[in-house]
Amino acid sequence: MITRHAVEHTLDFRYGAPVHSSVMTFFVQPLQDRRQVLIDFAIETEPRGPVFSFEGPFKSKGHFLDRPAPHDRLVVRARSTVETHARRNVPTSLGSDGWDRLRRGIRDPGLWLMLQPSRFARPSPTLGRFMRNHGLEPGEDPLASALELSAALHRVFEYTPGSTAADSPIESILETGRGVCQDYAHVMASIMRIWGVPCRYVSGYLGPDAAGVAPAASHAWVECWFPDLGWTGLDPTNDSGDDERHIRVAVGRDYADVPPTRGVFQGPAESVLTPEVTVARREE
Amino acid sequence: MLAREAADFYWMGRYVERTEHTARLLHHQLAGLVDTPADELALGWQVLYRTLGQSVPETSTDADEAEAFLIADAYTLAGTLVEDRTVPDSMISCWRAARANASQLRPQLPLRVWTCLNRGYLWIRDCDFPGAWKVGPAELVSRGIDRLRLLAGVVDAVMPRDDAWRFLELGRFVERFQHQTALLDAWDRVGRAPERRPALSWADLLRVCGAYELYCRRFTMTVRRDEVLDLMIRDPEVPRSLRFALHRIENLLVGIDPLGNRHPLAPPHRTALRLAAVLEADAVGPSRPRGREGREPGLFERLARDGRALHDRVMAAYVDYPVAEGLPT
Amino acid sequence: MNASDPTLAGGAGNGREIVGAAGSGAFSHYDLDPRFFDETFRADGVPRPACRRLSEVLARVSAEELVRVQDSVHRLFLHEGITFTVLGRKEVSEHIIPIDCVPRILTAAEWRHIEDGIKQRMRAVNLFLRDIYNEGKSLRDGVVPADLVLGCPQYRVQMRGVKVPHDIYVAVGGTDIVRTNAGFAVLEDNMRVPSGVSYMLACREATKRALPALYREHRVREVSAYPERLYSTLVSLSSRAGTPRVAVLTPGRYNSAYYEHAFLAGQMGADLVEGRDLLVHNANLYARTSSGLRRIDVVYRRIDDDFTDPVTFRGDSMLGAAGLFHAYRAGNVVLANAPGTGVADDKAVYAFVPDIIRYFLGEEPILANVETHLCRRPESLAHTLDNLQDLVVKEVGGSGGYGMLVGPQSTAREREEYAARVRADPANFIAQPVLALSRAGCFVDGSLQPRHVDVRPFTLHGRDGQHVVPGGLCRVALAKGNLVVNSSQGGGCKDLWVLRD
C-alpha cells in the first residue's frame, strides 16, 4: 500500500532588531530513492530571493540562501509531496552466521564511514557505564540485537520534549534519562557502531497515523545496515521500524551532518526560531 | 582596497597626527620651563589637557604655589603624556595605536614606511624618560617630533598616491582639523577669561602652530587675537590652519570617490562643503566666537560638531556601508 | 678595516693549509659525535667538500665579527617586524625567531634526491586524497585501514563527491626532512596550512646581507621567486577568465603566523582578508572594499577547515565566511588547500604513505619514512608502553611539537602521566624512535658549535605541475642536546644553501 503525504515545513526566524544579513543552509527536501518517491518539492522564502540547492554528503539535497539586505524576519517554507510504502516485512533475525555475513558484507567506504565515531555519536566513559548498567551487549544475531537495543532504549529513556538542545551531547540523555528523538538516535547509533553494525542517522518527519490521532512532527531515527536487507529503519523513540509514517529527508553520521537548518546572521539581535510541520495524509 | 584596510590607513593617519599634536604642545610647554612665568605655564597645561578632551588637573595660578607646581608636576604631566600606556593620548599610546593599524596593513604598506614607524615606536618604547628628563625634557619630545617628520617624509617620498595614501592623509587632516579647532577654542577660552592675569600669549599659539614668522611678515610683530584667529582659521597657506586642512580633506574625498560617480555628492563631501561654507561666512570678531547666551552654537562648537560628523560619514560611506549598497550591479 | 683582518663581508685570504677543521680555531668548541651525521665535517674532522670554503672563512674571522653579523641579522628581523606572535595569559607578545647566521649547505645531488622524493610523495598523497573523497578504491583494497581514514577527525564528509579544481587537493605543501647516519627521511608532512616560508625568505635576505661575498662565491640557488610561484600556482587553479582575484585568508593579527600571511599577500598583490571582510552572495564570494563589494576567485586560506565556513563546518567560528564552502562547491571560488587534506598529514596515516606511493604510482618511495609504531595495534601499544624512555610519542592529530613526549628527556612522572593518556586512547598515539638528527655548525655563545637541524622544503602544485623551492626553512634546536626544532618550542632557524651543479 502506498501513502501520499503533503508536507509543509515552515521555519520562521524572528530577530529582536533588524539584522544586516543572514546566510543559511537547510536540509528540508525529502529523499527520492527506491523506498520513497518525491512527487514534487518547492521552497519559498520571505524576504524573497534565490535559493540554491546542492547535493549533500550522503545524497541528501541541501539548500542554501543568503539575504544581504536588512530584515527582521526570515520565513522559509518548504512544501513537498511524498509517497511512502508500508513497512516491508523485516525479519527479526538474520539467521545463521549473522555476524560473519555482516562483517564480510562491509566492503564499501559508505558502510565503513557509518562505523566511525562522529561528533554526536561516539563512545565515551558515560556511554560505557550506561551500557554496563543496562546489560547492553550484542547477542547471537545482529538484527535481533538491534531490535533489542531499540526496545531497551525505548524502555529506559523517558521522552521529554525540551529536555535537551539541538547540540546536546549524548551524555545529557545518558545521565538524566530524558531526551528527544535526536538523542535516542544518537545513542542507538553510537552503540550499534561499537557493536560493528553500520548505523546512520535519519532526519525526517513523522506523519499522522491512519486514524489521524498522532500529530505530525519533525523526527529522527536510525538506519542499520544488514546483509541482504540493506539499510533498515529502526525508530528507538517509538520502538518500531520505519513504516509509512516515516518520511525520510536526509541521512548522515549524526545530526551535525544534516541539520534541518544552520545559519548565521550579522547584526546586534537575538533570534527566535519557530518551526512548524504539517503533514496531510492520503491513502492510495 | 579592503574597507577594513581603508579604515586602518585612516586611523593610522589620525594616530600619527595625534602623536605629533601632543608632542608639539608638550614641546612648547617643556621648552617654556626655562623662562615662562609659572602661572602662565599652568594655563598652558590647562590648554593642553583641554585640547586632548581631558579634565584639567587641579592647578593654582597663585604665583607661589605655581612655582612649586612648576618642576615636579611638569615632570609628572609630561611623563604621563609621553610614556604612560594607560593614557590614551600619550605619545606612546598613539604611536602604538598607529603601529597596530600599520601592522594590519603590511601588504599595502611600503616596507620603508613600516620600518620607520616601527623603529620610532621601538625608540619611544625603550626610551629612558627619567634619564632624558635630566638632560633636558624638551629634547626628548623634540626628537620624537623629528621621528614623526621623518615618517611624514618617508610617506611622502615612497607612497604612491592611491587610495591607501588618500585614506592615510584623510585621517591626518580630519584629526588635524578637529585638534586645531579644539586648540583654538581652548586657547581662546582659557586665555580670554577676563579675571585671568596674565593671559596666554597669542604669539605662543602661533609658535605652537609654526606660524609665528609668517604672521610677523604678513601683519606686524604686535600680535593681536583677532588676526591670529583669522590666520589660523582661514588662511589657505598655513599648514595648520583650518582652511588648509579642510581644503586637503575636500581634495582627498574627491580622489577617493570622484563627485557624482558613486554617490552623487556623497555625505562626506557634503559635510566638507558645509564646513567650508561655515569657515567662509562666520567672522570671528571679538564679539562672535561664542554663541549668544549659549543658545545659538558658536563657531568653534559648530566646527567641532561638523568635524565629528565628517568622521562618522567617512566611516559610513567607505567602511560600514550596508552590504546591499555595495553589491555590484 | 685592514686587509689582513678577514671579515665575512669582504671574504678571507686563501690559505693553502686546511683551516677550519673541527676542533681548531673558531671551531675549538666543535666536537663531533659519531652518533650524529655532521652536515659540515666528515668523521675525521675535515670539512665536507661543499662546506670547505665556508669553514675556512668562519675559522678565520674573529668572534667579534661573528657577533656583529649575528646582530645585524637580528636587527633586520626586529626592524622589519619579522615576528611570530605568542598569546600569553595577559597580553600578546611578538617574538623574533632566533636566527643563526651560519648557513647549512646541501649539494646539488643531495637536493635532487630530496626534491624527487618530495614530488613523488605529494603526487601520491594527492591521488590518495582524491580517492578517499570519491570512489575509495585504496580503502577497499586495504592500502590504508578504512577506519584510520574515515574516522580521522580531519576527514570532511562534506568533501565527498565535491569536484576539486584540476583534482589538486594540496596546492601548497611542506615536508619536514631529517637526516641521520642512515640518510634522509621524511619526519612529517604538512598538507593543511604549512607555515614558515616567510622565514625561509627572510633568513635568506639576512644571510645574504651578512655574508655577501661567501654567498656570491657559493653559487646558491635562488628562493626569492617563491611568492611569484605561489601566485601563479593559485591563479592556475581558477577557471575564471581574465585575471583571477586572489585573497589570503588569515585568522587575524593575533595568529602566530600573521606576519607570514601579510608578507605573502603583499608580495602577491593579493588582498589580506579576514572573515569579517568576506561575504557570500548568490554562490559568489565577495570582499568588502572601500568602493563596494569585489569578487574573489581564489582563497589561499591560512585557517583550519573547521573555521572556514560556520554554516558548513563549525558553527561557532567567525573566522571564516558563512557560505564559503557553498561558493566552493559551486565552483565559483578556489580554496587552497582544499578542505579535508588534513587526513594526509595525520601521523597515523603517515605510516602508510610508502604504501600509498606504491599503490598509486607503482614506484618505490624515494625518501624513507621514520619507523612508526601505531599504538592502535596491541603489539605496538605494548612495545610503546614498555619502552617509553627511548621513544618519542606523539598525538596523531598534533603539530608544532605540542602534546608530545620525548622519552629520554622526560621524568618518570611525566612518562607515567603520558602512559595513562596513551592507555586511555591508544589510537590517538604513535611512537617513533628518538631520531639521531644530523647536526650543523651554529654560532652559539661566542663560538661555533654543532646543533641538531631539520629542514622543511615547500612544494607548490598547480595546473602546470609541481615545483619544489630549492631551499627551505632549516630549523635548529639551539639549546645544546635538544632534539625538538619547532619554533613554538624555542627552536631557531638558519638559511639553507642549495648549490648549483
Task: Return the minimum-mean-pLDDT range out of A23-27, A239-243, B193-197, C294-298.
Answer: B193-197
A21 to chain B, any CB pair closer than 8 A? The answer is yes
Task: Return the minimum-mean-pLDDT range out of A211-225, B244-258, C88-102.
Answer: C88-102
In degrees, rounded to 5, the angle at the alpha carbon of residue C342 between the alpha carbons of residues C339 and C348 is 155
C413 to chain B, any CB pair closer than 8 A? The answer is no
Distance CA C171, CA C163 (A): 15
A113 to C150: CB separation less than 8 angstroms, yes or no? yes
The neighbouring-strand residues paired with C493 are C99, C475
B328 to chain A, any CB pair closer than 8 A? The answer is no
| Cβ–Cβ under 8 Å, residues A68 and A22 | no
- pTM as predicted: 0.88
Task: Return the minimum-mean-pLDDT range out of C27-31, C132-136, C479-483.
Answer: C479-483
For residue B216, pLDDT beyond 80:
yes
Q: C280 in helix, strand or coil?
A: strand
A113 to C283: CB separation less than 8 angstroms, yes or no? no
Residue of C nearest to A107 (CA): C140
A161 to chain B, any CB pair closer than 8 A? The answer is no
C158 to chain A, any CB pair closer than 8 A? The answer is yes
B314 to chain C, any CB pair closer than 8 A? The answer is no
* pLDDT one-digit tens code per residue, A266-276: 887 788 888 88
pLDDT band, very low/low/confident/very high, at B192 (cuts 50, 70, 90): low
B163 to chain C, any CB pair closer than 8 A? The answer is yes
What is residue B137's predicted lDDT score, i.e. its pLDDT? 76
Work out the minimum CA distance from A25 to partner chain C, whole angstroms: 6
Residue of B nearest to C254 (CA): B104
In degrees, rounded to 5, the angle at the alpha carbon of residue C66 between the alpha carbons of residues C60 and C71 is 165
What is residue A167's predicted lDDT score, i.e. its pLDDT? 85
CA-based torsion, C144, C150, C151, C154: positive or negative: positive
Instruction: Please classify residue C259 by burial: count the beta carbons closer than 10 Å to its beta carbon, then call 0-12 exposed, 13-18 middle and 19+ buried.
Output: buried
Work out the minimum CA distance from C297 to partner chain B, whole angstroms: 15
Largest Cα–Cα distance in chain C?
73
* pLDDT one-digit tens code per residue, A191-212: 999 999 999 999 999 988 877 7
* pLDDT one-digit tens code per residue, C390-411: 999 998 876 666 778 888 888 9
The neighbours of chain B, by the rule of 3 or more Cβ pairs under 8 Å, are A, C
C78 to B328: CB separation less than 8 angstroms, yes or no? no
CA-based torsion, A178, A180, A182, A185: positive or negative: positive
Work out the minimum CA distance from C486 to partner chain A, whole angstroms: 31
Distance CA B285, CA B278 (A): 14
Distance CA C493, CA C491 (A): 7
Q: What is the mean pLDDT of residues A121-134?
A: 94
Portion 214-273 of B in contact with C at CB < 8 A? 256-257, 262
| Cβ–Cβ under 8 Å, residues A35 and A85 | yes
List C-alpha distances in Å: C469 to B107, C257, C458: 22, 20, 6
Residue of B nearest to A267 (CA): B322
Portion 282-321 of C in contact with A at CB < 8 A? 282-283, 310-312, 315, 318
* pLDDT one-digit tens code per residue, B252-307: 999 998 765 555 567 888 899 889 888 887 655 444 445 444 445 688 888 999 99
Q: What is the mean pLDDT of residues B214-226?
A: 88
Question: Which amino acid appears at position C320 of this protein?
Answer: G
Distance CA C370, CA C435 (A): 8
- Please name which of B73, C224, C476, C139 lies closest in space to residue A108, comparing C-alpha atoms: C139
Distance CA B15, CA B19 (A): 6
* pLDDT one-digit tens code per residue, A221-238: 999 999 999 999 999 999
Phi, psi of B19 (to 5 degrees): -60, -45
Work out the minimum CA distance from B327 to partner chain A, whole angstroms: 9
Torsion (CA) B9, B11, B17, B23 in degrees, nearest 10: -130
Distance CA B309, CA C237 (A): 46
Residue with grid cell 611569484, as numbered in its chain: C228
Q: Please name the residues in contact with B230: beta carbons below 8 A apart, sequence gap of 6 or more.
A: B284
Q: Which of C253, C272, C293 sits opposite B327 (nearest CB)?
A: C293
Q: Which residue has better confidence, B155 or C21?
A: B155
Peptide bond into C337 cis (omega under 30): yes
Chain A interface test: which of B323, B325, B327 (most A C-beta within 10 Å): B323
Q: Which of A23, A54, A109 sits opposite C146 (nearest CB)?
A: A109
Q: Which of B107, B119, B257 sits opposite C272 (nearest CB)?
A: B107
| Cβ–Cβ under 8 Å, residues A8 and A30 | no
A262 to C311: CB separation less than 8 angstroms, yes or no? yes
Distance CA A95, CA A126 (A): 33
Q: C83 in helix, strand or coil?
A: coil
Q: What is the mean pLDDT of residues C276-301?
A: 93
Contacts of B100 in chain C (CB under 8 A): 253
Phi, psi of C76 (to 5 degrees): -55, -45
Distance CA A147, CA A98 (A): 14
A252 to C157: CB separation less than 8 angstroms, yes or no? yes
Residue with grid cell 515545513, as numbered in its chain: A9
The neighbouring-strand residues paired with C86 are C93
Residue of A nearest to C163 (CA): A55
Chain C interface test: which of A116, A201, A255, A271 (most C C-beta within 10 Å): A116
Task: Say how many CA atoms lie within 13 Å of B113 toward its Cβ.
Answer: 26
Length of chain C: 501
For residue C6, pLDDT beyond 50:
no
Q: Which helix (H) or strand (E) holds C288?
A: strand C284-289
Residue of C nearest to B105 (CA): C262
pLDDT band, very low/low/confident/very high, at B35 (cuts 50, 70, 90): confident
Portion 255-284 of C in contact with B at CB < 8 A? 259, 262-263, 265-267, 270-274, 276-277, 279, 281
A70 to chain B, any CB pair closer than 8 A? The answer is yes
Q: A89 in helix, strand or coil?
A: coil
Q: Please name the residues in contact with A189: beta carbons below 8 A apart, sequence gap of 6 or more.
A: A121, A199, A200, A201, A222, A253, A254
Q: What is the mean pLDDT of residues A22-31?
A: 94
Phi, psi of A134 (to 5 degrees): -105, 10
Distance CA B245, CA B172 (A): 9
Mean pLDDT of chain C: 88
In degrees, rounded to 5, the angle at the alpha carbon of residue C454 between the alpha carbons of residues C453 and C460 is 150
Question: Which amino acid appears at position C459 of this protein?
Answer: T
Residue with grid cell 642512515, as numbered in its chain: C182
Distance CA B119, CA B259 (A): 39
Distance CA A229, CA C395 (A): 39
* pLDDT one-digit tens code per residue, A160-194: 998 888 889 999 999 999 999 999 999 999 999 99
CA-based torsion, C140, C143, C148, C149: positive or negative: negative
B115 to chain C, any CB pair closer than 8 A? The answer is yes
| Cβ–Cβ under 8 Å, residues B42 and B61 | yes
For residue C486, pLDDT beyond 70:
no
Portion 268-327 of B in contact with A at CB < 8 A? 322-324, 327
Q: How many CB atoms lie within 10 A of CB C368?
A: 14
* pLDDT one-digit tens code per residue, B307-328: 999 999 999 989 988 887 777 7
Phi, psi of C405 (to 5 degrees): -115, 125
The neighbours of chain A, by the rule of 3 or more Cβ pairs under 8 Å, are B, C
| Cβ–Cβ under 8 Å, residues A235 and A150 | yes
